[in-house]
Structure 1
Amino acid sequence: MINVQGLGFRFSLFLVVAAMLVVLTTAEFFYRATYENEINEANNDIEELFQTVGATASIAAFLEDEDLAKEAINGLVKTNKILAASIKSETLYYQANVTEAINKNTEPRVFVVRHPFMPEESLAEVNVYPNFEYIISQAEKISTDNSYSLYAEALVVGIVALFITYYIIISPMLRVGRSLHKITPGTNERIDMPDYHAKSEIGALVKDTNQLLSKVEEQFTQERQLREEIEFLEKRFRMLFENAKTATVLMAENGIIELRNKAFNDLVEKTGLGIKQDYGELLDELFDTPEAMKSALQEAFARNEFATGEYKLKSSADESAIWVQLIASPLITEEGERYFQLALNDISSRRQELQKLALQADFDALTGIYNRNGGEKLIAKLMRKDHQFALALIDLNGFKAVNDIYGHDAGDEVLIFVAEQLKEKIRKNDVAIRWGGDEFMLLLQADDEDSVQKVVDKVNSGVKQPFYFNNETKPTVVSMSVGVAFYPETSRNLHALIKLADIAMYKAKQNKVSAPDDYLIFANQYRLDDEDMS
């Protein structure tokens, strides 16, 4: 089947059409040129015929010889190119076929007959009537024959040109095209060089195409290698992702989880909430305080930053709380789709350890009650909330003698006993603090001296119980000296409040021998100067 869109067919059609246009134009031109040439030739022939019989006509007119005139005229009309002729002088007239010529409206050509001896003198005139029908028919015949010859010649030339073009250009290009069509890109297949075209434009096209195929093969090879590397890395990444200890999810903006690893499922199962496809926007259904979490994340996302924070998860189990460190970052694909990557590190154990460390930092290891650091935090907290309270600073009397006589173990025993008495005798809302060494402090929810006096007296009664060390028959007794300051009545400054309580306590300590019952003194009567406040 002929491919009408093929290069060979289109080129052949173009060549034929172009040849026909050229032939038609040329044939028309040659037809007209030949026609005019034949008309001119016929006129020239008529003139030559007259020249042939002109001498006879001249003598016939000179001699007035009718026979010679007849011979001359009949000689003219014998040719096919002359329809009729006549000779006319003053004494002589002869014509042949003039009537027929006149009937055909043929215009004559007039020739002057000169004197045979005096050329400047005219003797007669000869009218020659051309046979235009014959002349035109002959001119048309010759022109048509020439046109046919030109058509035939053009056809032969066109066919030869077509065959030459086909075998030199079209056929090699078709072979190149078929070869290129059969080649699989990325392989080592190449186009064979057509014969006799190593240095032609077709050869250059084949070379360039082969170079392009080589580059394509190289790119395909690199792409295959890159794809293999990507597949390798993807497997490694998936292995790392699936086996990562950190719970990780990739979720769409609508909350649908696109990717999750085993650690995330394990973490959700640990909460007892159950595995499902989504847990709300930014996993808010998993968190104990979702609004705070979402607010922090959205604020960071607005600054185009990743967000991080520590949050407690909801849990249906009765086990200890689950805390996670959340790291979230927004991702935008090349198509403009928005995703979120969230990593949740289980920090429950670390949180518990920090709580233990916090307890260790705020509680006394020997007695189990608050230490000075924890006590100062409690006092500062009450002051921030503007609560009224009494701060009772206690110093033990006789404790140094216990350490000196019975040793530090005995001293520790006394401290533990005192701390137990403090915890036991104070009220539920009051707090006992080991301030340092043998100093203690009571943080009392009281705003009057009577309430403080009752609590401290009760504590003092418990502390003054006798100790017997090393089977001694003589008991050892410790007592207290107490200084009390009120917040905010005594001072609103923490440092000043403690300083004033300390001053009052030392005043009470001066009474331990002379007036032991006056072991409690209130600091309202004392004031600090600017130097003591600093």
Structure 2
Amino acid sequence: MKRFRHKLYFKVAAAIALSAAIVAVLSSYFFYFDELARNEQDSREHVHQLSRTVEKTASIAVYVQDSVLASEIIDGLAINDLVSEVELISEPGFSVFSGEGSLVGKEGVSTLLLYHPFSESEVIGELKILPNEAFIARNAKDAAVNQAQMLALLTVVTAILVSFIVHKTLTSPLNRITNKFEEIKPGETCHITVPRFHQQDEIGSLVKGINALVSSLNQSIDSERNLREKTEILEKKFRLIFEQASAGICLIDSENLLVTANPAFHRIIFKSHSIADAIGLCLTDWFYNKQQLESFLTDIRQSHHLDTVALDLKMKTLAGSPDCWVHCLFSKVLDGESQSSLMIEVLMYDVTERTEREINTRFEADHDGLTHLKNRRAGRRSLMDLFERAKANSKIAVIMNIDLDNFKTINDDYGHEMGDLVLIEVGRRMMSVFRNDDLCVRWGGDEFIVGCYFDSSHFETRSLPAIEKLAAELREALNKQIKLNGELSIKIGGSIGIAIYPQHGDDLESVLSAADSAMYKSKQEGRNQYSIFNSELTDGSSTCSKSHPKA
């Protein structure tokens, strides 16, 4: 034992064994608690991921109040062992749950807000999930124990294996090399043979360095030449990718001038300017909101957090050309030669078709498909915004409730197709009477709502003549003959009820109710006229201050 304890391989083996024992104990101890916490965290994150996978479907279920779809979503979540109970609720009182009761007030509940399918800022409900804490804790503990045991066993096995490998690959070859060095005599040429399996490692390098210094130098030169050839090949490939890419690629300097650009970039820019070469021109000149884009590029250069930013931008186009939208990805890069000049790389994709589809989708969601006026949902939202504007500026907003007279007889006598043509023409005439900033809404069927903003705070003294003039123009427009297919033409009027915010109500519902009462007053007094709501009568009924029949 005394003879071997001074040997290198004995010292290495003893050091590895002692280190392995210490590492096995400490790592198993700390790894157990770390693995326990991590498994519990992974399980809770998995529960959260489950809720995110059904977020869109749950939003649709809440939006359409579909209890069957909601139950399928909840059952699909509750079947997972990590989930104890699930509940899907919304403000109007719609609630579906998997357990014995509601999860409101229970501890540990994970809540996911559900947003309106067409408005990401409007919350319409919540998806609540109660994790199965007992199952999570049990699984986490079992996994942590197994991992700790496996770690300890792996450490011991690794120590034994490392000791054996170190002896075979390090201490034993070094011992043989040392013996060879001891056999070398001054003045004699001795070639040390590289030990087996060590031609490419440090031991082999040591022997090769002694035997073939010149050979090593030649190999370095050959390696450098091969590397240069590979670099040239890669440069050609990247140049080919740059020139053949379908996305427009360019570099701009600190003045937003183009330094280089690929053919795809020139094809996109050709829609804005008929130029043969864009190099040296200013990138921001080809877009609307030039100053905002310049400010944005300055922020990218100065900020340490904005390295890559994506934007959808509208390009200026040639006269008579359609609109063009591009998706741009801006990334900061350093000049490869100076490594000090900051440049911006721009990747540009033509997304005109996608943007137009999004615009059309938003239009279809907010407008009536027949008359192209705002639908009831979008109209209600716009009317509330109109009231907020009037309230903020201490002005008034006028609501007109229009109900077409005898419209049912048109459908009965001529069919719904002719009725649709009448509604389309009514919508067109309404749009011709009111300004672009006025709101024309098809409220439902043959009922329409118009909202107007008046820059006045007292409608009786200043705005009343203008309101009556506007109502008279609308009545006259609706009273004109409507030509249908062939020689057929009909005449249809409308009963109009007018209410003013805030004089006739302090919210949208009360003003709409007042306008509806005024409209029915017009119906009672012979139709085809307009009436202004009067809330000052003492009989408690909603009547009108004025009725204006057709002259």
TM-score by length of 2: 0.48
**Greater gyration radius:** 1
TM-score by length of 1: 0.50
